[in-house]
Chain A
Amino acid sequence: MNTKWIVVVRACGVMALALLFGVCTPMRPGRAADTPRYGGTLIKALGANPPMFNSAITADHMAVSAGCLLYNGLIFLDREGNPKPELAQAWEVKRGGLEFVFTLQPNAKWHDGKPFTSADVKFTMEEMLAKYHPRAKAALADVTAIETPDPRTVIIKFSKVFAPFLQVMSCAEAPILPKHLYEGTDVLKNPHNTDTPVGTGPFKLTEFVRGDHLTFVRNPDFFLPGRPYLDRLILKIIPDASGRLLAFEKGELDYIETTYFPKQEHNRLKNKAGFQWKLDTTVPEENYLMFNTERGPATDKRVRQALMMAIDRKLVLERAAFGLGGPGRNPIDSRFKWAFNPEVDYDKLYPYDPVRAGRLLDAAGFPKKADGTRFSMSMVVMSEQPDLPASAEVVRSNWKDVGVDVTLDAVERQVMYQRVYTTRNYDATVQSYTSAGDPAIGIHRVYKTDTSRNPWVNPTGYSNATVDDLLLKASGVVDLGERGKFYKQAQKILAEDIPTAVLIEKSSVDYASDKFAGFWESATFFNKFDGVWWKAGREKP
């Protein structure tokens, strides 16, 4: 074989491998994965103004998106959701999860040049996170002491174990703020929340044009050597979903995270030149079907079971998530492999079977009337998130086939809060929940007894002391195997009682310009932009 043929065969081999790799992995990687370069401006979409930057006192999505460029958590979550060092260089878990000892980064500084110390961690936890943060407050509820024996050591002691404590310590949940700028002030009204944020993060805020954009510039004193690589990162505020996508296609945006990406466009764009994309860029999220168990026919468990059997969950996945993800398999998202019980299977318990569903409804005392219907139900969904009305439309159509007449109300978010959570003036609803990376953080609230009527807490009225006890135990041990046992027991009860069902397990998808590399180091799309770099950049900062 002559040299020319060898070159051709090698080229074909490389192409075949590249093709195979491209087909087999849910990602089209950027052009080069070599040494990061410096410079450039990345423009990222944001849906609205951040109400503030201090994400230690709010869980607002915009605040966290901007805040995680400015601040750091003690850890960040890697692609598999494992805690990795950020402001904490290392940590040790003692007394079976009752004590955490963090060793802090030696070179971290605040943007104003003051040194970052353990006092900042203690202050933020005690005065902000434990008092005001909607999620971290629960994680810190059983803290008995936060000790700072030296500027680089923080010891956190608990009276009870909270298993996913480390997961909560990422920037998205628990950013660390500067004590020297907040001590002695009202932390809710401190001007550094809104006007002059000071963090330890990879970028500093230089401009905030409300309603238009926020400009962040590189922090040259960032504690991770060599990082960040970008000179500027701009958050461009575009409220309209189609406007964001058009701006991205036009090259006016370089990155759209899954929250802002219309999933129906994935098939059109996934092979288009100039873009890279990645699936499952954030922690598991689900669409749940929820019944109001306090009124109407759905108070009867047999009716809920029959209605579940009448739903084609694969069709819901197709219509609402455009095939991105999978149908719900049981009450816990199957991506939590350690917690998922494969023996509890919706496909076996409630296979899509309208005829059998009809018979079950007959047996439950709801035969078809002369007009062909059995009973009517109201279904309330939030209109702003298109996959929710789309899911509800499939459910309505499926239930109509078995004689259940559904009035579907797609209403704006605030009205949905009132109808579903505050007044419980609904019969069924489809809701989207994030797991927040751990069932104890994001999924317990779906099933646990709760009478607060707060948004995003079990609106079904379902209350089962055994389930509550199992969930409590599952969050009280560190070992995943032990935790999983409790969840597996809970799944059996929840699948049978079925106050709430996982309709679909959604896959997220982020899109980015292929002029940049280094995305998706973290399990959440909020942070680790310090690793993103521009391929046409310079070699040195």
Chain B
Amino acid sequence: MKPTSITLSTFILRRAAQAIPLLLGVVIVNFTIIHLAPGNPVQVLVGDFPAPPEVVQTLRHDFGLDRPLWDQLIIYLGKLLSGDLGYSFGNRQAVTRLILERLPATVLLSGTALLFAAVAGVALGVLSSRRPNSALDYFGSVFALLGFSMPVFWLGQLLIIGVSLGLGWLPAQGMVSLRADPSGWGRVLSIGQHLILPAATLVMGFLAMNSRVARSSMLEVLRQDYVTVARAKGLSERRVVYRHALRNAMIPIVTVVGFNLGFLLAGSAFVETIFAWPGIGRLLYDSMAARDYPVIMGIFLVVCTGIVLANLLTDLAYAYLDPRVRYD
């Protein structure tokens, strides 16, 4: 049955309603765990020197840290209901503003990585599946093994040392050249140059995963009877693979790509730190070290919401790709 607009909207509303208790649970668990972790944001604020107790007390009072934990949780939940993610101790800024400032950089990095991992991963997987045990297939297997095995912080360092420092082809750190301070298309070009290494680092593991899933899924579909029939009808191999087989092989691939999104945001924290990329992954890293509770919780909430949305989009994509899938 083809989905209708009514069933689609009902489905989305139902999923949104299911997401509310999930996100509430996430907020409460995150709040409790973060506040139970050892550490004190006020100490970070006053610096590495014994601060007078009254200064510490003033700051604790100003940030509401002198209230009981459950009291702080209720106040935080109340703020969330009005769309307020709180106030950053360390940055002295509204958390919403901080996240919105940094989100575009992360979306650019993660989006580029996700897109490349999806397109190149599927392409590599499909090509490998067409010629199993060929040189290309072995290359794909070795590449996948390396991609999975290499930690991003190590790969990032290698790329900086080799490509940036050794060959001098690409910049090592940041998002745009500060010395040249370009504008217009020059700025776009500079951002593009700065994007290549962090995106390549972030993409590697996901590309490997996507290519392996695409390969096995395609191999399975290519053994189906309808593919044999298509070939027997005299369709070109290209048409059989890309028009008939690939669409059906896409369901597990879509699942993996949707799954990638959550891990991309987590992985971007490392990559953004290694490459000084000013996104929310870096913000999370800095905020963890500074015990900037509102920022940590704000980012977790945004990431969790992103994962819920990604899951929803994945489910919608299932229905689009396979008409047998129903919204109910």
Interface residues in A129-162 (C-beta closer than 8 Å to B): 131-132, 134-135, 137
Residue in B38, B56, B174, B178 whose beta carbon sits within 8 Å of that of A414 in the complex: B38
- Contact status A246-B49, CB under 8 Å: no
Q: Is A121's CB within 8 Å of the partner chain B?
A: no
Residue in B47, B161, B283 whose beta carbon sits within 8 Å of that of A58 in the complex: B47
Residue in B46, B51, B89, B165 whose beta carbon sits within 8 Å of that of A249 in the complex: B165
- Contact status A455-B50, CB under 8 Å: yes
- Contact status A63-B179, CB under 8 Å: no
Residue in A210, A418, A456 whose beta carbon sits within 8 Å of that of B102 in the complex: A210
Q: Is B9's CB within 8 Å of the partner chain A?
A: no
Instruction: In the complex, identify which listed stretch (B131-139, B220-228, B273-281) lies at the interface while the others stay far away.
Output: B273-281
Mask, A229-273, CB within 8 Å of B = 1, is 000001011111011101101101100000000000000000000
Q: Is B309's CB within 8 Å of the partner chain A?
A: no
Interface size on A, residues (CB 8 A): 58
A418 to B291, CA, bound (A): 13
* Chain A residues closer than 8 Å to B44, beta-carbon distance: 51, 60, 414
- Contact status B171-A250, CB under 8 Å: yes
Which of chain B's residues has its CB closest to A212's CB?
B278
Q: Is B18's CB within 8 Å of the partner chain A?
A: no
- Contact status A58-B45, CB under 8 Å: yes
- Contact status B47-A61, CB under 8 Å: yes
- Contact status A211-B278, CB under 8 Å: yes
Q: Is B305's CB within 8 Å of the partner chain A?
A: no
Mask, B251-282, CB within 8 Å of A = 1, is 00000000000000000000001111011001
* Chain A residues closer than 8 Å to B89, beta-carbon distance: 51
Chain B interface size range: 35 or more
> Do A212 and B175 form a contact, CB below 8 Å, given A51-B92, A239-B285, A246-B161?
yes
* Chain B residues closer than 8 Å to A58, beta-carbon distance: 45-47
Mask, B187-227, CB within 8 Å of A = 1, is 00000000000000000000000000000000000000000
Interface residues in A298-316 (C-beta closer than 8 Å to B): none
Residue in B51, B174, B286, B291 whose beta carbon sits within 8 Å of that of A134 in the complex: B51
Within the complex, what minimum Cβ distance (angstroms) separates B199 from chain A?
16
- Contact status B273-A134, CB under 8 Å: no
Interface residues in B45-81 (C-beta closer than 8 Å to A): 45-53, 55-56, 58-59, 62
Residue in A49, A246, A445 whose beta carbon sits within 8 Å of that of B50 in the complex: A445
* Chain B residues closer than 8 Å to A454, beta-carbon distance: 50-51, 53, 56
A161 to B138, CA, bound (A): 79
**A interface residue numbers (CB < 8 A to B):** 41, 43, 48-49, 51-52, 58-61, 63-64, 131-132, 134-135, 137, 188-189, 193-194, 209-213, 215, 234, 236-240, 242-244, 246-247, 249-250, 252-253, 384, 412-415, 417-419, 434, 436, 445, 452, 454-457
**B interface residue numbers (CB < 8 A to A):** 37-40, 43-53, 55-56, 58-59, 62, 89-93, 98, 101-102, 157, 160-161, 164-165, 168, 171-175, 178-179, 273-276, 278-279, 282-283, 285-286, 289-291
Listed from nearest, the 7 A-B pairs whose CB atoms lie closest are A414-B39, A59-B47, A211-B278, A212-B278, A418-B38, A60-B47, A247-B173
